[in-house]
Amino acid sequence: MKAGATPIVPVLLSGGTGTRLWPVSRANHPKQFIDLLGSETLFQAAVRRFSHAMFSPPLVLTQTEYSATARTQLLALGVRNARLLLEPSARNTAPAILAAALHLDQTMSNSLMVVAPSDHLIGDPAVFRDCIRAAIPAAEAGQLVTFGVRPTGPETGFGYLELERPFEHGEFAPMPLRKFVEKPSMERAQAMVNAGTYLWNAGIFLFTTKSIIRAFQDHTPEMLPLVQDALDTSLEEGDGLTLGADAWSGLPSISVDYAVMEHTANLCVVPFSGAWSDLGNWDAVRQASAFTPEDDVSTGGRATAIDCEATLLRSNPDGPQLVGIGLKDIIAVATPDAVLVAHKSRAQDVGKAALALGTGATHPGQANDRQANAWGWVDSLSRGAGYRVNYMHVEPGHRISLPASPLQTKHWTVVSGTARLTLDTVIRCLRENQSVHIPPGVVPQLENTGQIPLALIETQTGNVSGPADIAYAESRPIGNVN
């Protein structure tokens, strides 16, 4: 960027469900918000990637149900100036990108915006930023710039970008794009890699707000009034803007490639030769993990591999001990409520498991036993007829007000930390190994006034057949903690 130029706005797409990484990724806690490879989630890695002087604070596009998780993970990074644009329901990338462009154009007229998925792995952020710098003149001139990744081999799980001419390794100059190519067969993918004129479609774009709005006007004009109506009827709360549900529900679920990019003439591509992966399935995770080159084995959590080859074994820290002996080309992933075993050649089909298990909001195909909130999370440990047992984790400096349960009794035991509890008008302080009985009809208010997370075991008895009332907890910061 030139000195004094306006920073680029990163628009992070964070609404996907990542079904091909089931059973770890679920609809209620999807891939982008999970630590798959290291000490931070993919979403946090994406935020960090754009924490550079050439970028302004990010605009995070996600669904309303993920807002608490996104805010918590942003705060964990110390990022307090991000904005959230919240979708009432999933409508794929075209409506989301148009909403971001219209919103930004109202507040930062004709600003540059870089649109990127928040669940991808980019191994060299500095080289990636060099690519973006090289694309700025074309974007400022009205081009829609997409970024393509140099193939390292034939892949059938990616779309491709066909160039007008071969490209050189490390070349950053924007190039004419001949056409988009759908996911190919293995034979066709190998031919395209050999040709040297194809890139993987990374789904990353750079353009001005007015350029992309004009493209929607030219190719899908029917979307504009609905998206504008969703913005006009949105609700603003703090750092977030929730789009109007009525208008949003009338929009089609369509990708930006189908809606705009495959039809526009003012499109160019910048090649990226650095390490990249969409981490779209468990075999991609295996390849991106730190494994020993001789045996090509990846393990994570409570997993052990003995004499295995080209295999991924992963078990959550709270999952069962997973041991593989003499395995080859196998993916085995365990969580407390599910185990996946598949041949790595079928990694693209794992999403079928989530579909086969059902689509209900509480079904194992869609939900796991963790419920994330702005103040922490709740793990469901056990439940049955007339009882439920939860583990509650409350971050320092948060106050939770729960609704009264007229037919339910609760018992809270502090495992670690310090709790300030208000039951109607009675205030108590609880420390480790201390408990409290909450009778039916009482409104409990819980505060973590300490410097460390507060951990409690909650036992509920009585009418526990409905959703856990913790889902309806109201939370707000209590200011500086002692």
pLDDT of residue 472: 45
pLDDT of residue 462: 86
Torsion angle of the four alpha carbons 133, 138, 143, 145, in this order, in degrees rounded to the nearest 10: -30
pLDDT of residue 359: 52
Q: Report the DSSP beta bridge partners of residue 149.
A: 200, 272
Q: How far apart are CA 162 and CA 165, in angstroms?
A: 9
Contact (CB, 8 A) for 368 and 23: yes
pLDDT of residue 136: 96
Nearest CA to 216 out of 164, 167, 256, 175 is that of 256
Q: Report the DSSP beta bridge partners of residue 270.
A: 147
* Secondary structure (H, E, C), the chain: CCCCCCCEEEEEECCCCCHHHCCCCECCECHHHCCCCCCCCHHHHHHHHCCCCCECCCEEEEEHHHHHHHHHHHHHCCCCCCEEEEECCCCCHHHHHHHHHHHHHHHCCCCEEEEEECCCEECCHHHHHHHHHHHHHHHHCCCEEEEEECCCCCCCCCCEEEECCCCCCCCCCCEEEEEEECCCCHHHHHHHHHHCCEEEEEEEEEEEHHHHHHHHHHHCCCHHHHHHHHHHCCEEECCEEECCHHHHHCCCCCCHHHHHHCCCCCEEEEEECCCEECCCCHHHHHHHCCCCCCCCEEEEECEEEECCECEEEEECCCCCCEEEECCECEEEEEECCEEEEEEHHHHHHCHHHHHHCCCCCCCCCCCCCEEEECCEEEEEEEEECCEEEEEEEECCCEEEECCCCCCEEEEEEEEECCEEEEECCEEEEECCCCEEEECCCCCEEEEECCCCCEEEEEEEEECCCCCCHHHHCEEEECCCCC
Torsion angle of the four alpha carbons 150, 151, 156, 160, in this order, in degrees rounded to the nearest 10: 30
Nearest CA to 439 out of 420, 461, 421 is that of 461
Q: What is the pTM of this model?
A: 0.83
Q: Which two tokens stand for residue 385?
A: 């007829």
Contact (CB, 8 A) for 387 and 464: yes
Q: What is the full per-residue pLDDT of the chain (482 aa) written as tens digits?
A: 554 467 899 999 999 888 999 999 988 889 999 989 877 999 999 999 999 999 999 999 999 989 888 988 898 898 989 999 999 999 999 999 999 999 999 988 889 999 999 999 998 899 999 999 999 999 999 999 999 999 989 988 889 999 988 887 777 889 999 999 999 999 999 999 999 999 999 999 999 999 999 999 999 999 999 999 999 999 998 889 999 999 999 999 999 999 999 999 999 999 998 889 999 999 999 988 866 666 688 888 899 999 999 999 999 887 899 999 999 999 999 988 889 999 999 998 998 887 888 654 455 555 666 676 667 778 888 888 889 899 998 888 888 887 777 778 999 999 999 999 998 888 999 999 999 998 888 888 899 988 888 999 999 898 765 555 554 455 555 554 43
CA angle (366 as vertex; 365, 371 as ends), nearest 5: 130
CA angle (111 as vertex; 16, 180 as ends), nearest 5: 50
CA angle (332 as vertex; 330, 336 as ends), nearest 5: 175
Q: How far apart are CA 231 and CA 241, in angstroms?
A: 8
Q: Which residues of 161-192 are buried (b: 16+ CB within 10 A; e: fewer)?
A: bbbeeebeeeebebbebeebbeebeeeebbeb
Residue 318, Cα to own-chain centre: how many angstroms? 21
